[in-house]
Amino acid sequence: MKYCENCSCATNDSRCPLCGSKKLRPVKDDDYCLVTECKKSQAAQRKEDLARYGIQAIGVPYGDGFRSQLALPLENERLYVPYAQLHKTLELLHAWEKEEEKSLRTYLLQHAKSLSISPKLAKRLIRKLRLTEEELIPYLREALTSADKVYDGGALSNSSAHLYLCRLPKYVITLNSETMEIVAVDRR
């Protein structure tokens, strides 16, 4: 395995997947490697969870720079772990992600009966999907329960609700977790 010192990235390729550099060296066990980027609140929880397994993760604030220009803290964090613990960390993160998705799917199934949509968005979707008004909600219910992937898109400001993103082959459906209102349907 090779290591890019610019990006702190371990790779099997001849180029860094992040910056494209060919200046890679063999990775050492104590090299800190990028494992994930997540919201700041989730990063704190992930670091605690990894610490329970004896894995010391380091978080580095990350963002596009716009927030820095406004003197605001960056909204994301990149997590790094020593290469010696990289594979175990990736296994844990994958397992936690699967567990979280399973929990979100269960929530969606339990609350699918309460699904709603604004009249304006409903009208647009009826035209776009060539459905009748009566077919729309059942169609969307079925789409949500058979989504390829379900994500928590983060908390809505000033609310305990979250935005759930349901990825389908052609669309991404975004809904409010508290009201179960579909707020957007976007092409992929």
CA dihedral 107, 110, 111, 112 (to 10 degrees): 110
Mean pLDDT, the chain, integer: 90
d(Cα 77, Cα 81) in Å, to the nearest integer? 13
With beta carbons less than 8 A apart as the criterion, state whether 121 and 173 touch: no
With beta carbons less than 8 A apart as the criterion, state whether 168 and 187 touch: no
Residue linked to tokens 């209102």: 181
d(Cα 54, Cα 35) in Å, to the nearest integer? 16
pLDDT of amino acid 40: 83
pLDDT of amino acid 87: 95
pLDDT band for position 152 (cuts 50, 70, 90):
confident
Nearest Cα to 116, choosing from 176, 185, 186?
Answer: 176
pLDDT at 71 over 90: no
User: Which DSSP letter does residue 69 get?
Assistant: H
pLDDT of amino acid 129: 85
With beta carbons less than 8 A apart as the criterion, state whether 125 and 117 touch: yes
List of residues 6+ apart from 152 with CB closer than 8 A: 100, 104, 162, 163, 164, 165
Find which of 46-60, 125-139, 156-170 is predicted with most confidence, using mean pLDDT: 46-60
What is the DSSP annotation of 176-187? Answer: ETTT-EEEEEEE
Nearest Cα to 38, choosing from 50, 27, 30, 29?
Answer: 50
Please list the residues that pair with 55 across neighbouring strands: none
d(Cα 20, Cα 34) in Å, to the nearest integer? 15
pLDDT at 73 over 90: no
pLDDT at 157 over 80: no
